[in-house]
């Protein structure tokens, strides 16, 4: 029989503090102590003690008291304090690199992104540039009184042990130990696949107060997230948590084969979804550009212009990509029994047009079509979602391990 873990008073207090913060994140609006007690099941005395700890450490702040009814004492709503706690998100992908700083209260403190043709670039060069970008911001955060809870690093490939990039084929990188770069080691950044953290960014209240609640998604939603860029990747979210798999490799929808006799993929297989619906593949199929130029944003803009002008090759390429996505996603729906799909990245340029077509095709062919309503949504957080998601990975350190940061 395995040895039982002992729970002491500090363990219990940390658990309860975490529950209280998560409850406020889930609510998405200020709550009174009585509201917290009702939602968490904690006694009023326990809730009073926990709230005082959170207020004293500038995690919660008290708002103006409000009267619940004509009679009785006014209640004091509690909300997350701003300008005290932050998470840093770093990202490197096929379109550039940058960082963002996210406040626990939900606001963006500082964001910087460099759009670049990521061809023949080395990890040493890119991470040195990231380091130079963020060092002045770290000093500024300290001067403003922020505590950085943690940092996340979004990368376009499989990650081992939260620190080793096994491969980023579209960058030409392989077996990169990310800890050897100063910016990663100094911030103790947790490396995560970019699709996983982009999916996290779509979950309202995952680790920062939501700015707005996206339609049809909440903190306990289940959905398949499809990240569409030069390549295609994905993530599976079940009841508000990313399903990472045994080795943290789950969700690679871009490498589902939709045609065993299709074009060769850099992964070694044939007919991968990425070879039909990735933006480089679309640009080349439309005759816009080839080689390194097909990955440029100029080529993407030309593709979109050609599609809007109803150019025959562009329309054919987009329709072929759409059919491949419908096939791959239908297989994913059948396998996972999840009926909501969130579309992010390049394909969001087509707004609801593509979403509705995908929805219709998957609904027609899903095995459970008579008992489920397929829903395809355009990502509620479309702009650099992996950056925001990486920053929430940092903030989550405070939510999950509050005793590391606060004084009781």
Q: Do 259 and 230 share a structural domain?
A: yes
Does residue 24 form part of some domain? yes
pLDDT for the residue 1: 46
Beta-strand ranges (E) seen in 161-201 are 164-168, 173-177, 190-193
Q: Do 248 and 151 share a structural domain?
A: no
Compute the distance between CA of residue 113 and CA of residue 96 in angstroms, rounded to an integer: 7
Does residue 4 form part of some domain? no
Q: Do 238 and 363 share a structural domain?
A: yes
pLDDT for the residue 169: 87
Kindly report the CATH number assigned to the domain that includes residue 37. Answer: 1.10.10.10
Q: How far is CA 22 from CA 27, 94, 192, 205, 271, in A?
A: 9, 34, 22, 8, 42
Does residue 70 form part of some domain? yes
Instruction: Return the closest-CA partner of residue 94 out of 264, 300, 288, 247.
Output: 300
Q: Do 323 and 265 share a structural domain?
A: yes
pLDDT for the residue 59: 98
What digits encode the pLDDT tens for the residues 130-174?
A: 999 999 999 999 999 999 999 999 999 999 999 999 999 889 999
Which residue ranges of the chain lie beneath pLDDT 70? 1-9, 68-72, 211-215, 351
Whole domain around residue 299: which residue ranges? 223-378
Q: Do 306 and 255 share a structural domain?
A: yes
Q: Do 362 and 233 share a structural domain?
A: yes
Q: How many domains does the chain have?
A: 3
Compute the distance between CA of residue 221 and CA of residue 117 in angstroms, rounded to an integer: 35
Q: Do 179 and 65 share a structural domain?
A: no
Return the SS3 of 16.
helix
Return the SS3 of 61.
strand
Does residue 42 form part of some domain? yes
What digits encode the pLDDT tens for the residues 49-105?
A: 999 999 999 999 999 998 765 556 788 999 999 999 999 999 999 889 999 999 999
Compute the distance between CA of residue 107 and CA of residue 215 in angstroms, rounded to an integer: 20
pLDDT for the residue 70: 52
Q: Do 238 and 199 share a structural domain?
A: no
pLDDT for the residue 153: 98
pLDDT for the residue 162: 95
Kindly report the CATH number assigned to the domain that includes residue 264. Answer: 3.30.420.40
Q: How far is CA 321 from the centre of its chain?
A: 24
Q: Do 138 and 188 share a structural domain?
A: yes
pLDDT for the residue 17: 97
Does residue 57 form part of some domain? yes
pTM score above 0.85: yes
Q: Do 268 and 355 share a structural domain?
A: yes
Q: Do 46 and 153 share a structural domain?
A: no
Instruction: Return the closest-CA partner of residue 383 out of 118, 100, 119.
Output: 100
Picking from 80, 113, 134, the residue at the C-terminal end of a domain is: 80
Compute the distance between CA of residue 98 and CA of residue 126 in angstroms, rounded to an integer: 10
Compute the distance between CA of residue 91 and CA of residue 184 in angstroms, rounded to an integer: 11
């Amino acid at each position: 029989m395995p040895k039982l873990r002992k729970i002491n008073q500090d363990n219990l207090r940390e658990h309860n503090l975490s529950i209280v913060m998560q409850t406020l994140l889930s609510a998405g609006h200020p709550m009174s102590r009585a509201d917290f007690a009702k939602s968490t099941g904690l006694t009023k005395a326990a809730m009073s003690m926990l709230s005082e700890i959170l207020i004293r450490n500038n995690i919660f702040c008290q708002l103006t008291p409000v009267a619940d009814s004509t009679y009785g004492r006014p209640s004091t709503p509690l909300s997350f304090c701003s300008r005290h706690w932050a998470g840093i998100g770093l990202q490197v992908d096929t379109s550039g690199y940058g960082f963002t700083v996210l406040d626990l209260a939900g606001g963006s403190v500082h964001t910087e992104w460099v759009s670049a043709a990521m061809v023949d670039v080395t990890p040493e060069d890119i991470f040195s540039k990231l380091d130079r970008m963020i060092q002045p911001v770290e000093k500024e955060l300290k001067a403003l009184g922020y505590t950085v809870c943690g940092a996340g690093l979004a990368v376009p490939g499989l990650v081992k042990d939260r620190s080793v990039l096994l491969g980023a084929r579209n960058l030409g990188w392989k077996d990169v130990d990310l800890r050897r770069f100063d910016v990663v080691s100094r911030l103790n950044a947790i490396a995560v696949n970019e699709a996983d953290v982009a999916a996290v960014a779509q979950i309202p209240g995952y680790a920062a107060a939501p700015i707005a609640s996206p339609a049809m998604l909440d903190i306990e939603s289940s959905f398949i997230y499809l990240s569409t860029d030069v390549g295609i990747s994905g993530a599976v979210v079940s009841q508000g948590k990313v399903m990472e798999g045994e080795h943290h490799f789950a969700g690679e929808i871009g490498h589902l084969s939709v045609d065993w006799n299709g074009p060769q993929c850099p992964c070694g297989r044939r007919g991968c979804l990425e070879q039909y619906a990735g933006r480089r593949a679309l640009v080349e199929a439309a005759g816009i550009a080839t080689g390194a130029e097909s990955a440029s944003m100029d080529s993407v803009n030309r593709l979109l212009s050609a599609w809007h002008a109803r150019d025959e090759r562009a329309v054919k390429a987009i329709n072929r990509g759409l059919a491949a996505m419908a096939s791959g996603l239908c297989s994913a729906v059948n396998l996972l029994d999840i009926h909501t799909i969130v579309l992010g990245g390049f394909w969001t340029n087509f707004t609801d047009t593509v979403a509705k077509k995908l929805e219709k095709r998957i609904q027609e062919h899903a095995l459970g079509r008579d008992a489920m309503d397929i829903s395809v949504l355009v990502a509620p957080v479309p702009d650099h979602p992996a950056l925001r998601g990486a920053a929430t990975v940092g903030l989550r350190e405070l939510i999950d391990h509050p005793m590391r940061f606060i004084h009781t």
